Amino acid sequence: MTVLAEPSKTTMQKILDAVERAGNRVPHPVMIFVYLILAVIALSAVFGAMGVHVTYQAYNPATGDIEPASTHARSLLTAEGIRFMFTGVIQNFMNFNAVGVIIVAMVGVGVAEEAGLVKALIRKLVVVAPPKALTYILVFVGILSSIAADAGYLVLIPLAAAAFISVGRHPLAGLAAAFAAVASAFLVNILIVPVDGILTEITNDAIRLVNPTRSIDLAANVWFSIGSVVMLTVLIAIITEKVVEPRLGPYTGDYVVPGETGLSDDEQRGLRYALWGMLASFAFIGLLVLPPGAPLRHPETGAIIGNSPFMTSLIVSIALIFLVSGAAYGFGARTMKHTNDVIAAMQKAITGLAGLILLLLVISQFIAFFNYTNMATLAAVSLGRVLQAMNLDALWLLIGFVFVVFLLDLIITAAIAKWAIFAPIFVPLLMQLGVEPEAVLAAYRVGDSPMNSITPLNAYFAMIVTFAIKYQKDAGVGTVIALMLPYVIWISIIWTVFLAGWHLLGLPWGL
């Protein structure tokens, strides 16, 4: 009997294997954040005792102006700090939006999954989509999912993993491709998304420090964003098929792969019912949004997009659509026979979140403690000043700015919070060097996104680890980091080169 030798691994594959082994030896994610909390407490005491502080120009959301600001390191080992740590535990957890988003979304998604709608849709997708285009379709949808806030994390990522396994491909490759699309390409879209309005307003306030008569509008980066979406769709799909999947090899886990892709008569009927349920949901939400004076429009401006009740409650609308469509599928396909089955599906979905909720409780305390100490602001301003002092020309300063944002994204994941610090520093500086403010905002989009898929401070990182364990029992933090590192490295390099090329060619950034 001839034993076939395993194909030799490339250097990159060996490095990623080492990263995975090392990462999976680290303690449970809950303990990782406990240790991080202890480190923050210790560092805050040291910096507080040293009187570390910075002064800078910052955006004031209360007044809408750029104002002088000063930030001091705050120790958690003072009487005030200890009071904050003990009295704020419950409020810190309640203020952690990811908890509510996950629970509300999973109420609807859980019904759709338990009824069998998700599996039926995946099988339908596999039948309809050309096999060579499946990766590209899932990545493209993942990038566009930022229009629906966090729905991409909750819906598309597990769907992509299931779609891959349905066609005999490794589910972790599908998970990684979707995670990269949702997280590492977050600030670009072919549409104007809610966060664009806030970023634009902060940019305009920074512009006025140099030129009070100039401003940019919501579409200031639209051409660059569309170009980035096309480029990133191709890049992420290529990384998945040429780097990630070869390293993973054939799937040998014990998760059961569906044996057939065709749909039974019951499933076909269920999909028709689900379509009717989805259309009814759209009609109901449309009545709450489209007519003049509708309750989900902005009560003063009447706006639908931007800071409106509709956009604020978008995750509720998505949960409702999945809930109604899932229940309709269940009754149509006869996988559900009573409303009690729908309630049971909701309960099962929330029960499955127990471990994740515990982890989010600890993460919420770490983020609250970290924010209290002001160490993120101190780091951002200090790095910005180092870059200023390097006296680079416009292009290299733009690239250096991207690199600084890369680094800060590991500890400040909120895009708006970072831009509120960086815009007053870099927009005036680069404008004085002849760089358009639209280019600075585009550079920020490039710098803010790639690291989102490997930073543990991403509120959904732990959930991705949970998804991975479903298909590979020994998966851990190291598994996910090793999966995502190729995306982070290549997206960071290629997207920065793409930005530099756009700048050098003088292409229009937007309308």
User: What residues does each domain of the chain span?
Assistant: 20-66+97-276+319-505
Q: Which of 120, 397, 369 has its CA nearest to residue 269? A: 120
pLDDT band at 263 (very low <50, low <70, confident <90, very high): confident
Q: What percent of the chain has pLDDT over 90?
A: 32
Residue 245 phi, psi dihedral angles, 5° rounding: -65, -45
Q: What is the pLDDT of residue 21?
A: 67
pLDDT band at 391 (very low <50, low <70, confident <90, very high): confident
Q: What is the pLDDT of residue 14?
A: 67
SS3 of 195-212: the string is HHHHHHHHHHHHHCCCCC
Beta bridge partners of 58: 67
Dig out the tokens for 413 from the structure: 């994941």
Residue type, 103: I
Question: What mean pLDDT do residues 85-112 have?
Answer: 83
Question: What mean pLDDT do residues 65-75 have?
Answer: 83
pLDDT band at 19 (very low <50, low <70, confident <90, very high): low
Q: Residue for token digits 């006025």?
A: 208
> pLDDT (tens digit, 9 = 90+) per residue, 328-341?
999 999 999 999 99
Q: Which of 108, 103, 47, 55 has its CA nearest to residue 78? A: 47
Q: What is the pLDDT of residue 155?
A: 75
What is the C-alpha separation between 170 and 129, in angstroms, rounded? 18
Angle of helix 97-115 relative to helix 354-373, nearest 10 degrees? 160
Q: In Å, what is the CA distance from 340 to each residue of 117, 269, 329?
A: 18, 21, 15
> pLDDT (tens digit, 9 = 90+) per residue, 195-237?
777 788 778 877 876 677 788 877 789 899 999 999 999 999 9
Identify whether the C-beta of residue 413 lies closer than 8 Å to the C-beta of residue 371: no
What is the model's pTM? 0.68
The dihedral through the CA atoms of 132, 134, 139, 140 has a sign that is positive
What is the C-alpha separation between 308 and 317, in angstroms, rounded? 14
Residue type, 126: V
> Which of the residue ranges 12-21, 24-33, 73-82, 312-321 would you say has the lowest mean pLDDT?
12-21
Ramachandran assignment for 458, one of left (phi > 0), alpha (psi -120 to 50 degrees), beta (any other): beta
**Average pLDDT of the chain to the nearest whole number:** 83
SS3 of 458-472: the string is CCCHHHHHHHHHHHC
Contacts of residue 504, defined as CB under 8 A and 6 or more positions apart, other chains included, come to 395
